[in-house]
Structure 1
């Protein structure tokens, strides 16, 4: 009998329709995908389709599916799963940016083949490559990402791109790739802290789980500290760990997670926007 592969992470994620989409019969424009590889490495991707784009739900689905293939190829070709250290920042940023540009070109080809305008498939993208050594992340647009180090301190993975006006952001499909200042729009980071947990989410959940708007008395204006709420994430992660330790199946855990995203509390339940969150916790001794 073949030995079952040991998993070093427990990861769960889902995408559910927001209240406005339910009321107006609009498809969920969020998509997500996550996959664990060998030696405790894995990839998580979240994409949020533009609310103003007719086929953005198809765009976000394409982005997570094809994005997963591209980023898995990077990990495999560079043999990171057997390496003792993470890549340098410059190398990771170059690889991530090349991948994202290729993904954008693939989406443009998909638009052409399906006789759609590229802008009709507009979507953001957030990627986290997680490992026992640390996390590699990259993103275009808004949404949030965070991680907890071994001391239990929650920190942001990246800074969401916000425009001058409310709900303004950029997308993978935006006209940024010919710009000499493309690095203003594509952010990549190497997190060289051993993680205990991580999260990626669309902006439909940010107000419920991050400090996003705090009044600055001195400047007399609101600012965004981009801080994950420990009081939100610690119970969620502890609950996830306990469910795994109690031998719940992945499907059972996913069912609980779906219910939480739909009706976890009154604010989450009544959120008008689509809601996606992936969360993972590290098991140093592994699970079966």
Structure 2
């Protein structure tokens, strides 16, 4: 059985500076075993990016929902997702022209997921992203954030040369989509070089049907609970607009990993380790040159 919830909240930075919420999300439950979700983040400096993000999620989810069925073959699903991305961008361009606006004021990211039974198909453009709860119990980043060397985001209008449209290679129980601020809460800087780079306890909170108790509590209760949690995230952690969209198939029962996999990280020790690495950069003469170069490379990635 498919369950889903989604939350979009205006970031505190936007509230303080009288900037509209530029995030959007949409979820369509097609039947008891298939759902489609999308999130989009209008790029912050653009005047009409909130319009673009809404067009992106509304158009692509609707287009896919009208064409993908339980019988649709894999190649056709990927073709439909690509068409949806193409037509959504065309719709954004038409809207800009009709309103007499410059197209570069309508930049947005877009990440879309189709969960059919335990199969995940996705399209991705920009620095939002997708995470999967695999049937083996592991949590895994499905997409990578698309930014250039100057940290500029690749928007939807960059086109199919930059879009990532694929079938995920593993069987999944649930899928988490988020714009960049919320996505990065699952991948804190202190975990980047650890064997497990995802904040599993937090991913589990968002994505595990048992932890959510979604079958018993229902989607609305879970959505309200998640919304309250997101609202309380400190500004120092996320002050941008915040969006998550999650779809789960409770017929898919993921295995449990070893108990240590779910432990809360030792943040104090992780912070100490990172500070030690920065000291190696600041005072290289006190450390082995070869080791210092290794640390420098890892910190810059």
TM over 0.5: yes
More strand by share: 1
Instruction: Give the conservation status (yes or no) of the 8 Å contact 2:205–2:212.
Output: no
* Correspondence 1:232 to 2:184: no
Corresponding residue to 2:141 among 156, 166, 170: 156
Q: Quickly say closer, same or farther: Cα 1:239–1:130, change in 2 above 3 A.
A: closer
* Correspondence 1:254 to 2:231: no
Q: Secondary structure at the match of 1:163?
A: coil
Instruction: Give the conservation status (yes or no) of the 8 Å contact 2:10–2:242.
Output: yes
Tell me which residue corresponds to 1:119.
104
Q: Quickly say closer, same or farther: Cα 1:145–1:225, change in 2 above 3 A.
A: farther
CA distance in 2, matches of 1:140, 1:282: 25
* C-alpha deviation, 1:214, in angstroms: 6.1
CA distance in 2, matches of 1:112, 1:12: 34
**1:123-202 map, 5 Å:** 123-166=108-151, 168-173=152-157, 176-177=158-159, 182-183=160-161, 185-202=162-179
* C-alpha deviation, 1:189, in angstroms: 1.6
CA distance in 2, matches of 1:207, 1:140: 16
* C-alpha deviation, 1:164, in angstroms: 1.0
Corresponding residue to 1:105 among 75, 78, 90: 90
* C-alpha deviation, 1:231, in angstroms: 1.9
Cα deviations across residues 104-139 of structure 1 (Å, max 9, x unaligned)?
111111111222222212111000001213100111
Cα deviations across residues 52-86 of structure 1 (Å, max 9, x unaligned)?
100111111111111222222331xxxx3146xx5
Paired positions, count: 253
* C-alpha deviation, 1:281, in angstroms: 2.5
* Correspondence 1:34 to 2:32: no
Tell me which residue corresponds to 1:10.
3
* C-alpha deviation, 1:226, in angstroms: 10
Cα deviations across residues 36-67 of structure 1 (Å, max 9, x unaligned)?
11241110000100101001111111111112
* C-alpha deviation, 1:154, in angstroms: 0.9
CA distance in 1, matches of 2:81, 2:196: 23
More helix by share: 2
Cα deviations across residues 244-271 of structure 1 (Å, max 9, x unaligned)?
233x3433322222111111x436x752
Cα deviations across residues 5-34 of structure 1 (Å, max 9, x unaligned)?
xxx122111111112111112111000000
CA distance in 2, matches of 1:208, 1:169: 18
Worse-matched range after superposition: 251-260 or 125-134: 251-260
Q: Secondary structure at the match of 1:284?
A: coil
Instruction: Give the conservation status (yes or no) of the 8 Å contact 2:132–2:140.
Output: yes
* C-alpha deviation, 1:243, in angstroms: 3.5
CA distance in 1, matches of 2:89, 2:234: 37
Which has the greater radius of gyration? Answer: 2
* Correspondence 1:23 to 2:16: yes
Instruction: Give the conservation status (yes or no) of the 8 Å contact 1:158–1:189.
Output: no
Q: Quickly say closer, same or farther: Cα 1:242–1:120, change in 2 above 3 A.
A: closer
